[in-house]
Structure 1
Amino acid sequence: MTTTTPLLAVHDLHVAYPGKGLRAPRTEVLHGVDLDVRPGETLGLVGESGSGKTTIGRAVLGLAPVTGGSITFDGVDITNASRRHRRELSRSMQVVFQDPYTSLNPSLLVGDTLAEPLVAHGRSAHDARAEVAGLLDRVGLPRDAARRLPREFSGGQRQRVAIARALAVRPRLIVCDEPVSALDLTTQAKVLELFLELQRDLGVAYLFVSHDLAVVRYLSHRVAVIHDGRIVETGPTRDVTEHPTDPYTQRLLLSAPVADPAAQRARRERLAAVRASSGSPSSEAAA
């Protein structure tokens, strides 16, 4: 991180979806969210299913209906950016989705998948093909992968292809929406190492959305915890994950399993005490 000036700044963000019926009221998903991502850093956004964390990423990408507040990127308001502006923004902002099995076009060769964004942003087909080999090298895939279809790869390899596609236009920010949750633990670790390596080498920033505190703790410089559409705690990763102040964050941490039976038993006892003191039901789901 070279500066404290935010690359991405979200202020008082509200998102509401239309109701299902003609006169049904809108469903508000985000309630005044504030967060920022600085150049070259990773902000881990963590919360349980339905907390609104993915909606924040979608709003940043222009895929969710913003009903209040603002989103700025590199000092420019992009809250209601036009389609043309969004196309220009895609040079600087990319996304890696959760499921590598569905995020890639199954009918396109990997080489064509990686060349596509380059051509869309003005590169010649010849130059784009020349850059594909370098992208494959960057994410640890063999160059002959360009001549194969996505179905010929494992889940971890497909996610590497998706990461390479995001890197093709050399973005400054990548929104990572649960990018390792569909992978086994060994593959998760390798892909997380790749994210760290790319950040060290390229200086790219990540908004890293996850339900997994262990993943967020490993990867992030700072952590924002979201609950019921509101950010309840933000701070340096060590502070949030070792000394949380919000009861919800405490419950998330204590709900995470550990291998030691004695430590796990102690966690269950502490979790029960936190739930009792905060008035939370004992059946609350862990993230």
Structure 2
Amino acid sequence: MTLLEIDGLRVAFPGRGFRAAPNEVLHGVSLSVAPGETLGLVGESGSGKTTIGRAVLGLVKPSGGAIRFEGREIGGLQGRARRGLSDDIQVVFQDPYSSLNPSLTIGDTLSEPLIIQGATRRDARARVRTLLDQVGLPSDAVERLPREFSGGQRQRVAIARALGPRPKLIVCDEPVSALDLTTQALVMDLLVDIQRQTGVAYLFVSHDLTVIRHISHRVAVLYRGDLVETGAAVDVTSKPEHPYTRTLLLAAPVADPAEQRRRRDERRATASAGVDR
């Protein structure tokens, strides 16, 4: 069974300058996500991984191909039809500092979208208490402002907000890249625990193959708008077949200076041999 199906997705942005040709950033990418699965999208800046997530969220318009959610085409939906998907598809953005309204308490931040969707204020508050417990935050957080929390705690609030309507899919756009390593591990473990409890699926976007390996069931590697490798996370992150994937793996830092130097030299050799094959 497929929850999300991306078939031959193309996205092009207007070119710079008068009469400039459009700049195509995705060249016919095909992917799928099953219920309860985490698909990791990995690649360097400009690879197109974030654009895929934004296309699924309706934030960019495809120029070709199809995006289907539970068999329904959603790539061209706008207005009320698009908003109707918000119960099923949610997002956690990269920056926990800018994704929360600094003037709203955490209780208001979490309850407001539930009330808009028809919940009573009482039911919304009860749901907020459940969400805070689910992400490991104290119940008194409802009366506090975002500035009173650390980066990791704010990202937990953002995760709680995404879980509010009980979605089937959450697009995670670099959700741990702004956090320190210890906090990254805690947030990723939280996401794994939530998936086990709720069965939610993740489309997880990251430039870090180590992060992708930790959280994903399957991995898709993007390079300059093309899908160059896909497979089980354990295979792609330990025995990559494509040269570009190998360069991503070799870019991950290690504690041993000698090993780090060896990996750097091997990465340079791999890159100089070319990754466009």
C-alpha contact 2:61 2:76 (8 A) present in aligned 1: no
State the TM-score, normalizing by the size of structure 2.
0.96
Deviation at 1:28, TM superposition (A): 1.1
2:242 aligned residue: 246
Asked if 1:46 is matched to 2:42, the reply is yes
Provide the aligned length of Structure 1 versus Structure 2: 276
Of residues 111, 114, 118 in structure 1, which corresponds to 2:114?
Answer: 118
Aligned-CA RMSD value: 1.3
Of residues 93, 100, 104 in structure 1, which corresponds to 2:96?
Answer: 100
Gaps spanning 5+ residues in structure 1: where? 281-287
C-alpha contact 1:17 1:65 (8 A) present in aligned 2: no
Q: What is the SS of the residue equivalent to 1:134?
A: helix
Tell me whether 77-86 or 21-30 shows the greater mean CA deviation: 21-30
Q: Distance in 1 between matches of 2:32 and 2:112?
A: 30
Deviation at 1:159, TM superposition (A): 0.4
2:266 aligned residue: 270
Alignment of 1:1-287 (within 5 A): 5-278=1-274
Deviation at 1:279, TM superposition (A): 6.8
Q: What is the SS of the residue equivalent to 2:237?
A: helix
Query: Which whole-Å deviations, capped at 9, do the CAs of 1:135-159 have from their partners, x for residues lacking one?
Result: 1111000111010111111101100
Deviation at 1:262, TM superposition (A): 2.8
Tell me whether 100-109 or 11-20 shows the greater mean CA deviation: 11-20
Q: Distance in 2 between matches of 1:172 and 1:279?
A: 36
Q: What is the SS of the residue equivalent to 2:58?
A: coil
Q: Distance in 2 between matches of 1:276 and 1:103?
A: 39
Amino acid aligned to 1:77? E
Q: Distance in 2 between matches of 1:197 and 1:240?
A: 23
Q: Distance in 2 between matches of 1:150 and 1:222?
A: 34
1:285 aligned residue: none
Q: Distance in 1 between matches of 2:187 and 2:21?
A: 42
Query: Which whole-Å deviations, capped at 9, do the CAs of 1:154-186 have from their partners, x for residues lacking one?
Result: 101100000000000000100000000000111
Q: Distance in 1 between matches of 2:136 and 2:85?
A: 27
Gaps spanning 5+ residues in structure 2: where? none
C-alpha contact 2:242 2:275 (8 A) present in aligned 1: no
Please identify runs of 4+ aligned residues in structure 1 that moved more than 4 A: none
- The alignment-based identity, stated in percent, is 65
Amino acid aligned to 1:140? G
